[in-house]
């Protein structure tokens, strides 16, 4: 992919702003809170780290995606939950506190697991003896991209909660504008092949979104996790951070391949529809609490 100011400067800056904004909403207590609900957290993390990459691998092999698109899907599968999960969880009666805890843990865990999944995927789908993948220096870059801005945001919140709350909206708006500019630039660059990419990966991305949401909800329910926590898990595990995946795919210092950015970009559009349908269905199920479960107060 041809390097430009958009991909070398603005894209990493956009993700840094997004992760900084995430840090503005987190505290050390969010990590500590994990200990109060270990079963829900463990089941969700197993789904995130092991189950979904396996499901995604099965889908890309079943549908015979071309190698670069297959790696892009695996990159998406390895990405942690997006911050949008907190909003959807709130709207549909999930345990938002659990979402925040999972987001905090996932943000740290992804810095280690994502490079592993990406390297394995690159070697499986593209490996021919060439030096590919996220080498040690690039793994450090992923670590820095994910964790350093989050840590800075948390520090800012610790120093001034009022300032952190006030900065939340401007940071989100600015990062969204910059990210949109980068994505539009990538679309223009790939415009001649975009239709074929969407046709090739659209169904896989749609199925992966639906399966991610279902696994995120039903796997905790299988282990007797309370319904509101299962809804939170469904949102957190089902809504992948396509922004992070796009950044790693496009950044010349990491993967630098616009084709790999297509699956997360397509998914980023389709997942809004699947998530709304999922939210509607679980909200209907939660309308009548099961024996022993508390009726969520925000459901009408």
Nearest-CA neighbor of 20 among 204, 211, 205, 149?
Answer: 149
Residue found under tokens 């992948």: 240
Residue 30: which pLDDT band, with cuts at 50, 70 and 90?
Answer: low
DSSP 8-class letter at 45: H
What CA–CA distance (Å, rounded) separates 79 from 82? 9
Q: What is the pLDDT of residue 56?
A: 96
Residue 179: which pLDDT band, with cuts at 50, 70 and 90?
Answer: low
| Cα dihedral across residues 172, 177, 182, 188: positive or negative | positive
DSSP 8-class letter at 258: T
SS3 95: coil
What CA–CA distance (Å, rounded) separates 73 from 83? 20
What CA–CA distance (Å, rounded) separates 179 from 6? 9
Q: What is the pLDDT of residue 4?
A: 55
Domain boundaries, the chain: 5-286
Q: What is the pLDDT of residue 60?
A: 95
Range from 27-41, 199-213, 232-246 carrying the lowest mean pLDDT = 27-41
81-120 residue pLDDT tens: 766 777 788 778 888 778 777 877 887 788 788 888 888 8
Higher-confidence residue of 226 and 288: namely 226
Q: What is the pLDDT of residue 2?
A: 42
Token pair recorded at residue 166: 């006030």
Alpha-helix residue ranges (DSSP H) falling in 160-226: 161-189, 191-222
Residue found under tokens 């697991």: 113
Per-residue pLDDT, averaged over 211-237, amounts to 92
Answer whether 158's CB lies under 8 Å from 173's CB.
no
CA atoms within 13 A on the CB side of 253: 16
- Max alpha carbon distance in the chain (Å)? 59
Q: What is the pLDDT of residue 182?
A: 64
| Cα dihedral across residues 88, 92, 104, 217: positive or negative | negative
pLDDT at 296 over 50: no
Per-residue pLDDT, averaged over 214-221, amounts to 94
Q: What is the pLDDT of residue 162?
A: 85
User: How much of the chain is in helix, strand and coil states, percent to nearest 5?
Assistant: 80, 0, 20
What CA–CA distance (Å, rounded) separates 34 from 100? 10
Q: How many CB atoms lie within 10 A of CB 230?
A: 28
Per-residue pLDDT, averaged over 109-133, amounts to 76
What CA–CA distance (Å, rounded) separates 243 from 54? 21
pLDDT at 16 over 80: no
Q: What is the pLDDT of residue 299?
A: 38
Higher-confidence residue of 55 and 196: namely 55
What CA–CA distance (Å, rounded) separates 113 from 115? 6
Range from 13-22, 46-55, 270-279 carrying the lowest mean pLDDT = 13-22
Q: What is the pLDDT of residue 63?
A: 93
Q: Where are the beta strands (DSSP E) in the chain?
A: none
CA 112 to chain centre: 15
| Mean model confidence pLDDT for the chain | 78
Domain 5-286 fold: Na+/H+ antiporter like fold (1.20.1530)
Range from 3-7, 143-147, 203-207, 256-260 carrying the lowest mean pLDDT = 3-7
């Amino acid at each position: 992919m041809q390097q430009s100011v958009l991909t070398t400067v603005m894209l990493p800056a956009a993700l840094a702003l997004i992760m900084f904004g995430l840090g503005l909403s987190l505290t050390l207590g969010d990590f500590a809170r994990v200990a109060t609900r270990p079963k829900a957290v463990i089941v969700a993390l197993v789904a995130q780290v092991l189950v979904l990459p396996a499901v995604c691998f099965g889908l890309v092999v079943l549908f015979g995606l071309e190698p670069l698109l297959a790696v892009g899907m695996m990159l998406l599968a390895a990405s942690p939950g997006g911050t949008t999960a907190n909003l959807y969880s709130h709207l549909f009666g999930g345990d938002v506190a659990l979402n925040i805890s999972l987001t905090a843990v996932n943000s740290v865990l992804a810095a280690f697991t994502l490079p592993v999944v990406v390297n394995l995927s690159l070697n499986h789908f593209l490996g021919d003896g060439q030096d590919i993948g996220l080498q040690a220096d690039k793994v450090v870059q992923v670590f820095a991209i994910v964790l350093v801005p989050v840590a800075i945001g948390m520090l800012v919140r610790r120093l001034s909660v009022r300032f952190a709350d006030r900065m939340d909206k401007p940071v989100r708006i600015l990062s969204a504008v910059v990210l949109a500019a980068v994505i539009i630039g990538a679309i223009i660059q790939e415009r001649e092949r975009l239709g074929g990419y969407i046709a090739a990966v659209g169904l896989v991305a749609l199925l992966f979104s639906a399966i991610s949401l279902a696994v995120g909800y039903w796997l905790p329910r299988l282990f007797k996790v309370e319904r509101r926590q299962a809804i939170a898990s469904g949102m957190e595990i089902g809504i992948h951070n396509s922004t992070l995946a796009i950044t790693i795919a496009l950044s010349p210092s990491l993967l630098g391949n616009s084709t790999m950015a297509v699956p997360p970009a397509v998914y980023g559009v389709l997942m809004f529809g699947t998530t709304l349908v999922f939210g509607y269905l679980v909200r209907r199920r939660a309308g009548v609490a099961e024996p022993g479960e508390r009726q969520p107060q925000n459901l009408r």
